[in-house]
Amino acid sequence: MEIQNSLAQIRRQRGISAARLAASVGVSRQTIYAIESGSYVPNTAVGLRLAQALGVGIEQLFRLEAAADAPACLKEVELLPQAGQARPGQALRLCSVSGRLMAISPEPSTWGLPRADAVLLDVGRTRKQTVKLKARILEEDWEKSDRLLIAGCDPAAAVLAHHLQRQGVELVITYQNSSRALQLLKDGVVHFAGTHLQDEKTGESNLPKIRTMFPRDSVAVIGFASWEEGIVVAAGNPKHVRDVADFARSDVKIVNREPGAGCRLLLDTRLRRLGILGREVQGYDRIALGHLPAARQVQSNQADCCISTRATARVFGLDFIPIVTKRYDLVVRKNHLKLRQAEILLETLGRAALRRELEGFAGYDMKSAGNRLM
């Protein structure tokens, strides 16, 4: 049996805001939203207080329904870009963006299978950067959850997702480099894009690039964190790497990031200033798709160093040589700011618990978190 509720419908019929209802019942506004989405079932006392506040019987708010086995549901979804070719049987996570049903192929954890809302059946025609395909929906619960789709390369998105989940919002993450994330936002297939692209001429983070890509007043830029980018090397720095100039040494082998990644742009800028060509650097053409995959190659001695963040080095117990401090920002179309789940995300950025976690563990500077930058 499953517990269904009509809280949102009755609350709106009564003209009562979630904040007002929460105050009268003695819970948080996020708890009201979580109950309405079905991601949280209140205890008896809270249920009775809700019924009393709304002037209805508790059976009008909550009811038991048998969980019937639903027939297999086939839908056409749009698969976001990914490394490698999409294959039948692949797990998918789903999120609706402006009426388009978007799908990503989730990353498996080190010791477990990824969560899946659907399974890929076959590949169809293409549309811009997405691939249209048929998928078999495993369960319809994903439609009841409040979801946001974010593209970006910051591993800390998983920490943000954990804090949002407590408030009834699911953050679906597609790990993409900064340039690709902004392009996906421009194409209208994600809610948020994370970026850390620094303008070579001015040294300004993100805003110059965003202004060239989006019409004026079409997007908002929200600060997330400032972080240090630099050289990640093995613990103890056995090759005695001091700066990017050492990448040209014959005894040093790097692992690089793909074109369009913020760390790749940083490396190319430094090499150009030093007059070093890519072909003079061992491993320049060896690509890792993401901060953590690059650092993992350093940890496993497949490479001597890479360009990444101090937080990435900490995850793997590696040493770090700072080069520059950058800002990692979140970009969102202004019409998506009106989404309830987007409002909760922005509110969460200002919460002390999130800031403490990322400052204490990842070494991020969270002073700009939640600030409207554009």
Read off φ and ψ for residue 6, nearest 5 degrees. Answer: -115, 25
Is residue 245 within 8 Å of residue 276, measured between CB atoms?
yes
What is the H or E stretch that residue 125 is in? strand 118-127
Q: Token pair 């249209």 is at which residue?
A: 132
Digitized pLDDT (tens) for each residue of the chain, 374 residues in all? 578 889 999 999 999 999 999 999 999 998 998 898 887 889 999 999 999 999 999 989 998 876 555 456 888 899 888 766 777 888 899 999 999 999 998 876 656 778 888 988 876 544 445 678 888 988 777 777 789 999 999 999 999 999 999 888 999 999 999 999 999 999 999 999 999 998 888 889 899 999 999 999 999 999 999 999 999 999 999 999 999 999 999 999 999 999 999 999 999 999 999 999 999 999 999 999 999 999 999 999 999 999 999 999 999 999 999 999 999 999 999 999 999 999 999 999 999 999 999 999 888 999 999 999 98
Q: Token pair 């805003």 is at which residue?
A: 207
Is residue 102 within 8 Å of residue 94, measured between CB atoms?
yes
Q: What tokens were used for 206? A: 């993100």
What distance in Å separates the CA atoms of residue 333 and residue 338, rounded to the nearest whole number? 10
Q: Which residues of the chain does CATH 1.10.260.40 include? A: 2-65
- Burial of 125 (C-beta count, 10 Å sphere; 0-12/13-18/19+): exposed
Query: At the top level of CATH, which class does the domain 145-374 belong to?
Result: alpha beta
Q: Which residues of the chain does CATH 3.40.190.290 include? A: 145-374
CB atoms within 10 A of CB 291: 28
Residue 367 C-alpha from the chain's centroid: 20
Mean pLDDT of the chain: 90
What is the H or E stretch that residue 231 is in? strand 219-233
In DSSP terms, 160 is beta-bridged to none
What distance in Å separates the CA atoms of residue 370 and residue 64, rounded to the nearest whole number? 40
Query: At the top level of CATH, which class does the domain 2-65 belong to?
Result: mainly alpha
Q: What is the pLDDT of residues 321-350, one digit of tens each?
A: 999 999 999 999 999 999 999 999 999 999
Q: What is the pLDDT of residues 88-139, one digit of tens each?
A: 888 899 999 999 999 998 876 656 778 888 988 876 544 445 678 888 988 7
Q: Which amino acid is at 136?
A: R
Q: What is the pLDDT of residues 176-191, one digit of tens each?
A: 999 999 999 999 999 9
In DSSP terms, 230 is beta-bridged to 308, 322
List, in sequence order, the alpha helices (H) in 176-321.
178-186, 207-213, 262-274, 291-299, 310-316
Q: What tokens were used for 92? A: 């998918």
